[in-house]
Structure formats: structure tokens, C-alpha cells
A and B are shown apart, each in its own frame.
Chain A
Amino acid sequence: MSDMTDPMPEDELLAAELALGVLAGAQREAAERRIAREPGFARLVAAWEERLAPWAAEIDEIAAPPAVWDRIAATLPAGSQSAGWWQSLAFWRGLSLATGALAAACIGALIYLGNAPQKAPLIAALDGGGHRHFVATIDTRSGSIAVQPAAFSADATREPELWLIPADGKPRPLGMLRADRAVSITIPADLAALTVSNAVLAVSLEPPGGSPTGQPTGPVIATGKLTSL
């Protein structure tokens, strides 16, 4: 541990200056070239970027105009898949985190469903980022979904919206959820046939009142697959 008067190696000071952005012209270019050539120097720069990056939390998010994505997409090589991100199987596969604790959720659901009708209830633990956000249980007989908040905490400006993603991969809005209490949602008649085992429930963060587009517009924070009890 150094005290504040200890010198820092010249390379590390240069890395700090580059990460901070105070260099210009030939000095900046020379330092940038060293990143490509010298892994040790690259690590010093990355460490300084890591130290400074949290400062960017003070910068407000500003939505970029949709045309920017169109311009980016136009520069990508043709032929790679261009379907919506929510239709990507690998995306959802990547999301299926922490499903190992499903059993615990099932026990909770059994208690919850103690008096429920016996016709094949479905359950999904809605997880994301290694945490359980909600537990959803579906009474297929009455066609309703009960969604209990688990570790979900409210967001100041956005609200959680529940989506059904059946085998075709297209999200259908089911309704808004609450962080502070269970919500019961009646499944629309046209979605009843799609609400089956292996369909996915997902939660995205949306403007109050729900997505204005009918598709998820905010980050998807939790997903879970429907399973028969």
C-alpha cells in the first residue's frame, strides 16, 4: 500500500492520463498504439477505466434517435441474422439463469395454490442476474396468472411489465406487475392456447402504463419457463 506521496510508475501515470482523456495529438496516438502492442500497458489502462467509469453514473441516459440503429445495422455484413433480439433463441437461453432454485419456488407455489383447482397449474420462477424477481403461477382452468414479487425492487421511473413468449418467439403483453404485492391477471382468450408448458414469461421495465409499442422497449430483467406442477 502506497501513501499519497509515493510516486507512481511513469507507465501507470500515462495509462491514467489516457483513460482520463487529458492527452492530445501525438502523445495520445502514441499511448493508444502501446495498448495494441503491450498487454501490460493495456491492463494498466483498463484498470484506470474501471476506476473512473462509475463517474459516468452522473450522466443521464438520453434515448438516441431510432435512425442511429438503422445506420449501424446498415454497416453490418449482410447474412447474419437480423431478427428482433427477443426472437433470438440464444438470447433467451443466455437468460435462463439460476433456474436451479425452481424447486423452492414450486413449494411456495404449492402452498399458494393450496385451494386451487387441480387441473394442471403452471409455474414459472422469473429470474435474472442471478436473482429471483417474481414467481408466477397459472391456473389454467380459470385462465388467470398470479404473480408474486420475490426480490424485485421498484424502479423510480419504470414499471415491470409481464410478457408471454410462446413457441413462435413473439412477446405478447400480459399486464403490469407490482413490486409491493401480488397481481392477478386474466389471460386474454386468444393467448390461452399459447399459455402452455415451455412457453416463457418475461418481465421488462417499461414506462408507466406499459410499453407504448406493444413490444418490450426497456431492458428485460427476468425470464422463466412455464413448467407443469
Chain B
Amino acid sequence: MDLDANRSLIVAALVRIPAGDRAALQTVYRLTSAKLFGVCLRILGERSDAEDVLQEVYVTVWRKAADFDAARASPMTWLIAIARNRAIDRLRATKHSRRMDPIEAADDVADSSPVADRALESAQDHARLQTCLDGLEARERAALRGAFFDGNTYEDLAARMSVPLGTMKSWIRRAMIKLKTCLQQ
């Protein structure tokens, strides 16, 4: 299907929310909640936590929709960032990260190698990011993956990969610099 179709629908609904249009929020919810629930569940691991956070996410969308600038950001980027932030806030408030099993850089593989995301995110954007991630060292990629998908902190990642905190910080920072350079090309 047309990857842009949902984007237009989400933007059209988001811009109506600041006027107090509940139906517009419901439209955004129908179009995006399965994705954002997946994101919350991935970070939090518990359905009940993920459901609570999903509720917070859309209440945040309701309050902050006026901040969304369609000219500057993609609606899914904006929504995914809210979902990740709320989920990470919950994670930090409750306990340590859910996933703390050791990470072996050699084990670093994509979660679901063929990306099955049809509707909400451009496959091209994902392919470009993946190419740049593939250009990182395996340990850097594994550390970024633990942060993005498991909500790990620097401390968590240092523990999971059995390296000093300072080493982990320099791996991540170095990886982010390389990532940005690669994505600019």
C-alpha cells in the first residue's frame, strides 16, 4: 500500500487536536496505537505497564499536539519519541531495566529481520538506518540496540556487556557520531 497515506491521515488528525477535537485524537489512536503499544511493550515487558503508559502517551498527545510541527517532523517519529520517553520514564521510576541478560556483540541480530512494518514507517528510512548501523562495530551496534529496544541506561549496558562505564560511554558516543556522518551521506 501507499506508505504516505497513513502519514497524511495522522497529520490531518493531529492538527485538529489542539482545537479540542476528541474524534481527531481517536483517529490518531486508531491509526497508531498498535505500533506505540508494541514500542511500550518492548521496553516495559509487562502488558499492564505498557497499557498504563499507552494511556499516558495519548493523554500527552492530547495536551501537546500543538507542539507537533508537520513541516519539521514526521508524525510517527514524534509519536514514537513520546512513547519511548514515557516508557523509559516508567522504567526508570519503577526499577532497573527489564532486560539485563548479558549482551554478546557477536549475537547482535535484528529482532525480526524482514521488516514487517507496512503502514507507518517508510521501509526506505529503515533500510538507510540499517545500512549505517551495519557499518558500526558489532559491539557498538549491540549497545545501541540495548538502549533503543530495551530502554537500557549507560550503567545497564556496561553491566550487560561487562565493560567499565567510561568505555560504554565512549562506545555509544563514538557510534552516534559515526551514525550521524553515515546518515548525512
Q: Mark A50-63, 1 if CB is under 8 A from B, else 0.
A: 11111111111111
- The reply on B9 being an interface residue by CB < 8 A is yes
Residue contact B29 to A8, C-beta cutoff 8 Å: no
* Chain B contact surface mostly: helix
- The reply on A16 being an interface residue by CB < 8 A is yes
Stretch at the interface among A113-121, A185-193, A219-227: A219-227
Per a CB cutoff under 8 Å, which of B12, B59, B92, B144 touches A24? B92
Please judge, given known A-B contacts A22-B152, A91-B12, A91-B24, whether A55 and B2 are in contact too, CB under 8 Å.
no
Count chain A residues whose beta carbon lies closer than 8 angstroms to a beta carbon of B: 77
**Shortest Cβ distance from A132 into B: residue:** B2
Measured CA separation A71–B29 after assembly (Å): 12
Please judge, given known A-B contacts A64-B51, A128-B2, whether A58 and B112 are in contact too, CB under 8 Å.
yes
Measured CA separation A65–B126 after assembly (Å): 28
Measured CA separation A53–B83 after assembly (Å): 11
- The reply on B25 being an interface residue by CB < 8 A is yes
Q: How large is the interface on B (under 10, 10 to 19, 20 to 34, 35 or more residues)?
A: 35 or more
Please judge, given known A-B contacts A72-B29, A94-B16, A97-B8, whether A85 and B155 are in contact too, CB under 8 Å.
no
Q: Which B residues lie at the A interface, using CB under 8 A?
A: 1-9, 12-13, 16, 20-27, 29-31, 33-35, 37-39, 41-42, 51, 54-55, 58-59, 62, 72-74, 76-78, 80-81, 84-85, 88, 92, 110-112, 115-123, 125-126, 128-129, 133, 144, 147-149, 151-155, 157, 172-174, 176-181, 183-185
